[in-house]
Structure 1
Amino acid sequence: MWRKKIISMGLIAVMCVLAACGSTGGNKPGESADGSPPATAKSDKADKQVTITVWDKSPDDDVFKPIMDEIFADFDTSHPNIKVNHVASPPGTSVNEVFMTANAGGEGPDAFHNTSFPDIGDWVKAGVVQDLSSYWNDYADKDQYLPSAMEQATIDGKVYGVPADMYLMGLMYRKDLFREAGLDPNSPPKDWEEFAEVAQKLTNPDKKQYGYALLGMDWADWFFEYYVWQAGGDLTTKNEDGSITLDFTKEPTVTALQYWHDLKWKYKVVQSNVAQNFDDNKQDFFQKRAAMMLGASDWFGDFAANGVSLEDVGFSSLPAGPSGKAPSQMGGRYWIINPKSDKEKQDAAWEYIVYINSKEVRDKLNTFRLDNGIMPNLLSTRKDVNPLEFTSNVPQDLVANVQKAAEVTQLEYALKSRLSPYIVPAIQNVLLNEKADIAAELKEAEDKAQREVISPYNADIGK
């Protein structure tokens, strides 16, 4: 993303609990295929307890904390020989950097569930992901996972990750603000032209209300790439031989950045501080200051936690651009195991991943959402988990629109985590400077990225 995407730590905390679910097939969590306790739970060394560290602690004010504490306690009971040290991810602006720094210093977690779909290949190459093939081959539930969820984690026939979650992005909007502006809350904008018109009607400086929360902070390419897709291109092309071609200066990218420039400078429909923190964007949406924003299919827990009724929230496919297309970004995250952990810790980490990914745990989380009016993520990585069974108290138009947005999806651009520091400054310069030369900004970004990232990468591929 996608999940994976660099995520603010506040968002990580929410998404971690939303995603912490997932597999032991039809067996109870902690049981093997024949119903007996797994080897690590029934070890010959019955008096020895293995301690593992997992970055999945819930913040005290998280709406999911009670159910997560219950799930953690159930694991402790069913796996007395495994002690899980649940900790929060260390602070930082980049999940990747925080993890890599901790891992390099020997302080990385034994199990980690925030490895994004686009990044896992790079992480495998960097040697920070354990090959899970021996565990996976004996995993009773391995056939329950969607092939699309396993695609990025399967490299050269080896399996390196277990899907923690999947999501897709769409347009979220405040139905109540649509009504106040005289707009039909059931007719969100369908293309760029209509989007700009609607955003202008939803912008009211007297009420400190603006039409669209634009993502211009240090991971602006997360949302910007969608606009490039809508214009008919992508930020990179992955060639048949595995090499990468940069598309920063191609017409679709230029067109997309021109549209973003216009949203800020011509239509004046975005927040005054376009580089504000992503959590501030979300708070603007919760507090009715922003009428529209992009959001994921697994973020609806945020609304309950912030006192927003789902009746006031709309979700739709992204507005189409000049290409007439508007694919939704599909992403997700994998559970991985630390290759630096000793074998006992790796075995214990696998048992924990199997438990937390079990159908029983996922159904328990979805039941909690149902009981508390929280919409579940409608994309499940498992074939035997049907989120639609847990949506009776959720507005059915939300359910239908998320499903519609899932009909056409696309993965994030290749080498995103490496290339983000090059394309983002160009985006920000255009958003912060009305007179910026869009083509020149993109050319400078592409030349630098080609020299420092792509040429070395392609040379390595060719070896």
Structure 2
Amino acid sequence: MHKRLRTSGKWLSILMVIAMLVITAACGKGNDPKSSTEGESGTPQKTNNAAGSTTEENVANNEPVEITVWDKTKPDDILKPVYDEIFAEFDAKYPNIKVKHEVQPTGTNDREVFVTSMAGGNGPDAYAAAYFPIIGDWVKQGFALDLTSQWQSYADKDQYLPTAMAAGTIDGKVYGIPNNMYTMGLMYNKKLFKAAGLDPDKAPANWDEFVDYAKKLTDPGKNQYGYALLGMDWADWWFEYYVWQAGGDLTTKNADGTVTLDFSKQPTVTALQFYKDLKWKYKAVQKNIVQDIGDNQKDFFLGRVGMILSASDWFMGAVQGGMDLNEVGFSPFPVGPSGKAPSQTGGSYWIINPTVPKERQDAAFTYVAFRNSKESTEKMLKFQSDNGVLPNLLSVRKDVDASQFSKNVPADLVTSVVKTAENVQLEYFLKERLGSYVVKAIQKVLIDEKADPLTELKAAEVLAQREVVDPYNKEIKK
């Protein structure tokens, strides 16, 4: 599968640096619910008092209570044995709390399924996938309980990284308990770099080098292309990074809480023109520009593409795809015209259903705290390590050293995760509501060579202003 490497004496310090860098990156962001997207991660500290004395005493004194959680593992999930072990340990410690583990209902995507279930009064008592960019919206919709009182008596509350807490803390109140966290970077195939005459230990530093690398990595005769561009229905996810590199963002959250759209501002136009050029001028991306992200990744694993964006917890996918991690490179994004290239940081929170009785809310908090305990987290990491599963190298908690369970990860990948964590940014505000408008403009210029980036972005901005931003700002001003 991959070579086993010795654990260097530098690992502990490296991961401590990650934590310090992430904490530093969080400075100045306050409680802005602007946030980030999809990965996994670690958790905790001493957790003998998992939920804090007040909540635990309430649960212990109550009658038996049943809660529903969408965390049932599938029979073929490699992690099923360790999940079952953790579930059994919770049952033994809290016999008065009956946890009904369910597989999340199927649907278009997990977010829509959750929102539909909550709106219909059928949501779970605890939910682990409130993503950084979404939690603010869900708080407004009444889908997330204010956990501030429980949080104050939670023994492990000081063990979480400030960046992990930022998006889930709104107006000084805690609504989410960090479940996982990641940073995004540029992943590349060292073998293809060598074959193209490129230095396998040197990633492109700026847009000009990126274009040069992408062109050299493109070989139509081999059905090989330089860069896997994301053009499907999540296209705004990766596109926003290029807007940042051009010196802007897709929205501005104003001091009074209202939102201003920046779709037609120059940095966004510059970024979309760059996307268009990658497709039509340089012809360095895949033919099917709207193919699924899974197909993009498959192309990378099979050696059909030289570069792709990746999260710090996606290395296992490369291994499962047949790659040797020693042939995989990872780096911060190339800088754009602004001279900047912040990495996107994201992840998800555990949230608790505010519509269920208080005894169920307290029981759900106790369950989440147990799942996020140092002991449960390290049990999961050890199982992953023992079974060839690579963990996320970025933990949400300060007291969990993931490097101890990452013996199979080349040191340069860990170092690269450190670098991507030096400069991080949350995704654009109101992403969940505005994404489809941005995607439409992106897809138009990627599918139609004659489409003009500014024209398409202006059209998207007018529509989004009328349908989303005006109603939102009106509500904020009430």
Q: Does 1:181 align with 2:196?
A: yes
Residue type of the alignment partner of 1:293: I
Q: Note the C-alpha offset of 1:350.
A: 0.8
Q: Note the C-alpha offset of 1:32.
A: 5.6
Q: 1:59 aligns to what?
A: 74
**Partner Cα distance (1:145, 1:54) in 2:** 23
Q: Note the C-alpha offset of 1:235.
A: 0.5
**Partner Cα distance (2:51, 2:363) in 1:** 14
Q: Give 1:400-439 correspondences, 5 Å limit.
A: 400-439=415-454
Q: Give 1:188-267 correspondences, 5 Å limit.
A: 188-267=203-282
The answer to whether the 8 A contact 2:50-2:366 is kept is yes
Q: Does 1:450 align with 2:471?
A: no
The answer to whether the 8 A contact 1:111-1:349 is kept is yes
1:227-273 deviations in whole A, cap 9, x for unaligned? Answer: 00000111011111211111100111011001111111111111111
Helix, strand or coil at the partner of 1:320 = coil
Q: 1:368 aligns to what?
A: 383
1:26-81 deviations in whole A, cap 9, x for unaligned? Answer: 134758669xx943664453xx3x32222223334433333223222222232222
Q: 2:407 aligns to what?
A: 392
Q: 2:57 aligns to what?
A: 39
Q: 2:26 aligns to what?
A: none
Q: Give 1:97-136 correspondences, 5 Å limit.
A: 97-136=112-151
Residue type of the alignment partner of 1:208: N
Helix, strand or coil at the partner of 2:188 = strand
Helix, strand or coil at the partner of 2:260 = strand
**Partner Cα distance (1:426, 1:22) in 2:** 39
Helix, strand or coil at the partner of 2:69 = strand
Q: Note the C-alpha offset of 1:115.
A: 0.8
Q: Note the C-alpha offset of 1:450.
A: 1.0
**Partner Cα distance (2:78, 2:268) in 1:** 39
**Partner Cα distance (2:386, 2:380) in 1:** 10
Q: 2:10 aligns to what?
A: none
**Partner Cα distance (1:361, 1:277) in 2:** 34
Q: Does 1:22 align with 2:43?
A: yes
Residue type of the alignment partner of 2:457: L
Q: 1:164 aligns to what?
A: 179
**Partner Cα distance (1:296, 1:2) in 2:** 18
**Partner Cα distance (2:301, 2:316) in 1:** 12
1:345-385 deviations in whole A, cap 9, x for unaligned? Answer: 21221111001111112222222333344443232221212
Residue type of the alignment partner of 1:27: T
Which of 312, 315, 319 is 1:304 aligned to? 319
Question: Which structure is higher in RCO with an 8 Å CA cutoff and minimum separation 6?
Answer: 2
Which of 272, 295, 298 is 2:310 aligned to? 295
Structure 1 residues 51 and 307, CA gap change in structure 2 (3 angstroms): farther
Q: 2:350 aligns to what?
A: 335
Structure 1 residues 349 and 381, CA gap change in structure 2 (3 angstroms): same
Structure 1 residues 217 and 97, CA gap change in structure 2 (3 angstroms): same
Helix, strand or coil at the partner of 1:39 = helix
Q: Note the C-alpha offset of 1:341.
A: 1.9
What is the percent sequence identity of the aligned residues?
Answer: 58
Aligned residues: 446
The answer to whether the 8 A contact 2:189-2:306 is kept is yes
Structure 1 residues 33 and 345, CA gap change in structure 2 (3 angstroms): closer
Helix, strand or coil at the partner of 2:276 = helix
Helix, strand or coil at the partner of 2:150 = helix
Query: With structure 1 as the length reference, what TM-score do the two structures score?
Result: 0.90
Query: With structure 2 as the length reference, what TM-score do the two structures score?
Result: 0.88
Which of 69, 78, 82 is 2:93 aligned to? 78
Please identify, of 303-312 and 103-112, the stretch whose mean Cα deviation from structure 2 is larger: 303-312
Residue type of the alignment partner of 2:46: G
**Partner Cα distance (1:306, 1:38) in 2:** 44
